[in-house]
Homo-oligomer: A and B are copies of this chain.
Amino acid sequence: MGKSLISNNIRKLRFEHDEMTQQQLADKVGVTRQTIVAIENAKYSPSLELAFRIAHIFGSPLEDVFSYHPK
């Protein structure tokens, strides 16, 4: 698929949630830290399931964490 049309505020949400570190978030959602880094920096977009898990950790609806910007 083409370039990423999806942005996120994971970093912002991490800090709003007790300065949660990338490693802590990774542990909570069950992936490696590198995966969090890649998603945070929009290197690729996660699977839907992982996106849901991340949103769930932050207690936010998915669309508050990830936004889609179609052309």
Chain B residues lying within 8 Å of A68, measured Cβ to Cβ, are 49, 52-53, 55-56, 62
Chain A: residues with Cβ within 8 Å of the partner, total of 21
A20 at the interface (CB under 8 A from B): no
Cβ-defined contact, B47 with A45, below 8 A: yes
Q: Which residues of A contact B (CB under 8 A)?
A: 1, 4-6, 45-53, 55-56, 61-63, 66, 68, 70
Q: A6-B49, A6-B52, A62-B68 are in contact. List 14 more A-B contacts (CB 8 A).
A: A1-B49, A5-B52, A6-B48, A45-B49, A47-B47, A47-B48, A51-B51, A52-B68, A52-B70, A53-B68, A53-B70, A56-B68, A56-B70, A63-B63
